[in-house]
Amino acid sequence: MIHRPRRHQPRATRRLHPCQVLAKLLDRPEEERLEEYRVRWRAFDYAVESHRAELGRRVDALAEAEHRLLHLGTGQLRPEERAARIVELAERAVLRYWRDQPCRLFGGRLLPRLTGGAYFAAGPQRLHWFDLPASLLREALEHELPALLVRRRSSPGSPDAAGLALLLEDMIDGLRERPERAVQGRRFQRTLLRLTRLAVRSGSPATREVAVSALETLVELMRGDGRSQRGRRRHDLSPSRRRFLARRREQAVAVAEEREQFKAHCAGRPVSELPPPLVVSAQIESVRTA
């Protein structure tokens, strides 16, 4: 008889649960947690700083393409808008890097699916990129930002073709990393309309082919995001699996409660003492109206 070795699922294919990443952080007092988030923001900001000029040029090119091709905005960004979009590019780089990258800090396991945007808007089952240790933020940015900027420098073609390619690249990136935000924006809707017109009306066969290919890619991404990941029905689960899922739900409730308490702690601090992702929207409004 021939004995074949059993095939085990590679450890890296199993994702961590957000609670496993947050466990040590949630055990700390709120003021210690706030100081840890300050350390993480400084690491993030320092890693972005060496690429800030080129990221700014990419943001400016996107704004100009939106104005020229999609008739959105004025083509010029206010300083605070420009800074926010640079941060958004950097946070998407973190999400992109850790999407399928085994993490040595957690024994080669895959991290949970990350989310971006406002920190306190993240659900209890989602891990915000700001919950990652500073070393993981630096690793992602040092790997992803140079690659992103090389793609920007190597984009060929006419200004319109280069602008459309840049918009598509940015949109596809947004759909992969933050689909719930990407599909709601006017830029997404205008780009779809623009591509549809090019696919139908363009006099250039090459342009029509590019537009059709881009539409197929976007539709496939949206279709993939909309598919429900249905598992087995509850009555098909083993008792041990049911107990495991019940513990996970309890942990998610505990994380939600901890975040609410930490949000109240941050809301009572001056904005100048908080890292930008932890600033509560009500604090921003009070600063604007002051």
Encode pLDDT of 163-197 as tens digits: 777 777 787 777 776 666 667 677 777 878 888 88
In this prediction, residue 281 carries a pLDDT of 53
CA triple 39-44-49, angle to 5 deg: 125
**Closest CA relative to residue 103, chosen from 11, 1, 197:** 11
**Closest CA relative to residue 169, chosen from 180, 158, 155, 184:** 155
**Closest CA relative to residue 155, chosen from 169, 137, 171:** 169
In this prediction, residue 182 carries a pLDDT of 67
pLDDT tens readout for residues 192-248? 888 888 788 877 777 778 778 888 888 787 776 444 444 445 556 788 878 877 887
pTM higher than the cut 0.85: no
Residue 222 token pair: 């949206």
In this prediction, residue 12 carries a pLDDT of 45
In this prediction, residue 251 carries a pLDDT of 80
Beta strands in the chain (DSSP E): 102-103, 109-110, 114-115, 127-128
In this prediction, residue 289 carries a pLDDT of 40
Look at residue 141 and tell me whether its pLDDT is greater than 50: yes
pLDDT band at 288 (very low <50, low <70, confident <90, very high): very low
Q: Supply the mean pLDDT for the chain.
A: 79
Domain spans of the chain? 12-225
